Structure 1
Amino acid sequence: MELRHLRYFRAVAEELHFGRAAERLHIAQPPLSQQIRQLEEELGVPLLVRSTRRVELTAAGAAYLRRTVEILDAVDAAAGQAQRVAGGQEGTLSIGCVGSATYSLLPRLVRALREELPGLDVSVRGEMLAPAQISALTAGEIDLALLRPPVSGSELVVETIRRDRLIVALPEGDPRATSDQVTVTDLRDAEFIAHAGRGRSVMNTVLTSICARAGFVPQIHHEVEETSTLVTLVAAGLGVAIVPEATAALGLAGVRYLPIAPDAPDVELAVARVAADPSPMIEQVLTVLRRVADE
């Protein structure tokens, strides 16, 4: 028995006419009749009652038709799914993301993917520091990493997708929070809350570099890994923080965000992936990501 036998039987059973079934299948009627008889001989039961005027299904034929339709539809669905997976429209995708982009870019990206590539099963891991994302990428735990450069590793492809302006997060009760903007020098005596140091966060290095250019070393009183925790500590009045502007999307009460004067520095946001994975799915997701980042 081959799939063609099932397709032939389905056509005859649905048309209840060998001539019409043959036209539907684009074959001659005699070979079609022969194939149906071979199917019945293999099964050992009659599927059709034939007369000069009509063709009818036997009870066994009606039962066999129901299962035949299920089988053929499943085969067609499997072929369609394989084609969608090969074309990048279907599959599983895991995305890692730094804290600030977790609250701004990531929600918009996931919504866009759901609309444009509904066959993708997308999972996200937010609030991941760059070293953790790189480890997860190389281990195959995530497919894409949204992080802050620099990123090392010849096995990775890194592409900058946007630049984020840096701003200052201040407790609402801080005297500097009443201004329209602040300079880095205004923060010389401030107590800072910073992202994790010792190479675990690019933002920690950015903070020390910005303060060094202003002629001082920041007084870091708390180091945290999650941006949400950092902003929460600012809201609690435990210090100030220099963060990417996208962090303001967190919208936590008790925090005032101010631009840095005169010229606000910025930081890159990049997407990284494993170089050996040029899959159509990743390419389609990157196309959506670039557009969402531009918006």
Structure 2
Amino acid sequence: MNFRQLESFVTLASELHFGRAAALLHLSQPALSQQIRKLERELNKQLLVRSSRKVSLTSEGARFYPLARQALAHYQKAEALIAPEGDEFSAVHVGYVGSALMSETLLEQLRLFEQNHQGVLRLQEANVQTQLSMLETSELDCAIIRGPIPLSSRFCKMVIAKQPLICALPQALAQGLSEPLSLSDLSELPFILIEDPPGTGLTGAIIAACDKAGFVPRYQQSVVSVNAALAMVAIGLGAAIIPQCMVSQNFAKVCYFQLKDELAPSELLFLYRRNNHHPGLIELASQLDVL
């Protein structure tokens, strides 16, 4: 059970109308329904009765409602008490893919924001799919992910870094190869790919590039991060296409090659809901917009 779930339940229980509650919470109605279902699953209780015309509390929901309001009030008081003195806004919840933190420019901007607003940043590593879902349900204020992503009128998107893509190969498979490689040189090799939703993230970019080169990459292993992909390469399981910034990880038994294909650079994106007016988020977005 978390703050967002409690806030969603209390607001919906007060309004007894999904449309009004969703508007107050700056959520879509499906995202609000998802928060309520998560809470009910965790409590193993049905809190609301839904029909096409109305929403009402079950007996368990009616008993839980005043307790949830109290818990929400205590949470807000506790957050206010531990907020740094003189700071004008509460926590900013930021999701990120692990490879994003290899960008020294991004790190410097996050460092500057933390210096100006100590204790406000709440950073959480998660893959693209999880971050997009958490944005929808307001569990994150913003997401730092690798493009491409589907266009959505609900989100604002900024490109905060562009990084070239290179190839990582196990030492055994790299024998006799010289730079630059062509993607087509890799067509018979197994690939290590990140578990991104179809057409999105780093994997979406890689599959599109391979398609342009005339082949479909053969999956050997799916992983959740670029670091894990490099570890799989080091073990000898296959090839990986990675942002050039990841070379600094210095995995043993991994060889890196420039690619001669005209690949679009990997875009690091800053994403947030268009209707999120959190002042801390707005300041962070403004700060990153100069990159």
Q: Which amino acid counterpart does residue 282 of structure 1 have in structure 2?
A: L
User: Match of 2:168?
Assistant: 169
Identity %: 24
The DSSP-based 3-state class of the residue aligned with 2:216 is coil
User: Match of 2:143?
Assistant: 145
Deviations 1:87-143 (A, max 9, x none): xxx43122111232133355434322223x2334212122x2222111111222111
Question: For the aligned residues, what is the CA RMSD?
Answer: 2.8
Q: Return closer, same or farther for 1:257/1:175 CA change in 2, 3 Å cut-off.
A: closer
User: Match of 1:133?
Assistant: 131
Say if 2:93 and 2:141, in contact at 8 Å, map to a contact too: yes
Using the TM superposition, give the Cα deviation of residue 243 of structure 1 relative to its aligned residue in structure 2, in angstroms.
1.6
Q: Return closer, same or farther for 1:149/1:177 CA change in 2, 3 Å cut-off.
A: farther
User: Match of 1:194?
Assistant: 193
Distance 1:282 1:175 in 2: 45
User: Match of 1:110?
Assistant: 110
Using the TM superposition, give the Cα deviation of residue 195 of structure 1 relative to its aligned residue in structure 2, in angstroms.
1.2
Q: Return closer, same or farther for 1:193/1:177 CA change in 2, 3 Å cut-off.
A: farther
Q: Which amino acid counterpart does residue 244 of structure 1 have in structure 2?
A: P
Say if 1:194 and 1:230, in contact at 8 Å, map to a contact too: yes
Distance 2:165 2:92 in 1: 30
Say if 2:168 and 2:254, in contact at 8 Å, map to a contact too: yes
Using the TM superposition, give the Cα deviation of residue 212 of structure 1 relative to its aligned residue in structure 2, in angstroms.
1.6
Distance 2:160 2:237 in 1: 33
Using the TM superposition, give the Cα deviation of residue 193 of structure 1 relative to its aligned residue in structure 2, in angstroms.
0.7
Deviations 1:245-273 (A, max 9, x none): 23324333332222111434323221111
- Does residue 214 (structure 1) correspond to residue 232 (structure 2)? The answer is no
TM-score (ref. length: structure 1): 0.62
Q: Return closer, same or farther for 1:282/1:198 CA change in 2, 3 Å cut-off.
A: closer
Deviations 1:51-94 (A, max 9, x none): xxxxxxxxxxxxxxxxxxxxxxxxxxx9x978641xxxx43122
User: After superposition, where does 1:44-123 map in structure 2 within 5 Å?
Assistant: 84-85=87-88, 90-104=89-103, 107-115=107-115, 117-123=116-122
Say if 2:148 and 2:204, in contact at 8 Å, map to a contact too: no
Q: List gaps (5 residues or longer) in structure 1.
A: 1-77
Using the TM superposition, give the Cα deviation of residue 237 of structure 1 relative to its aligned residue in structure 2, in angstroms.
1.0
User: Match of 2:74?
Assistant: none
Using the TM superposition, give the Cα deviation of residue 238 of structure 1 relative to its aligned residue in structure 2, in angstroms.
0.8
Q: Which amino acid counterpart does residue 132 of structure 2 have in structure 1?
A: I
Say if 1:156 and 1:274, in contact at 8 Å, map to a contact too: yes
May I ask how many residue pairs the two structures share in their alignment?
Answer: 209
Say if 2:156 and 2:272, in contact at 8 Å, map to a contact too: yes
Distance 1:97 1:246 in 2: 16
Q: Return closer, same or farther for 1:113/1:250 CA change in 2, 3 Å cut-off.
A: farther
Deviations 1:183-210 (A, max 9, x none): 1111121111111255285322222221
User: After superposition, where does 1:256-295 map in structure 2 within 5 Å?
Assistant: 256-291=255-290, 294=291
Say if 2:128 and 2:196, in contact at 8 Å, map to a contact too: no
User: Match of 1:243?
Assistant: 242
Distance 2:246 2:192 in 1: 14
The DSSP-based 3-state class of the residue aligned with 1:243 is strand
Q: Return closer, same or farther for 1:112/1:198 CA change in 2, 3 Å cut-off.
A: closer
Larger Rg: 1
User: Match of 2:56?
Assistant: none
Q: Which amino acid counterpart does residue 192 of structure 2 have in structure 1?
A: I
Say if 2:199 and 2:205, in contact at 8 Å, map to a contact too: no
User: Match of 1:25?
Assistant: none
Q: Return closer, same or farther for 1:200/1:177 CA change in 2, 3 Å cut-off.
A: farther
Using the TM superposition, give the Cα deviation of residue 161 of structure 1 relative to its aligned residue in structure 2, in angstroms.
2.1
The DSSP-based 3-state class of the residue aligned with 2:149 is coil
The DSSP-based 3-state class of the residue aligned with 1:123 is strand
Distance 1:285 1:120 in 2: 14
Distance 1:251 1:277 in 2: 39
Q: List gaps (5 residues or longer) in structure 2.
A: 1-80
User: Match of 2:224?
Assistant: 225
Q: Return closer, same or farther for 1:100/1:153 CA change in 2, 3 Å cut-off.
A: same
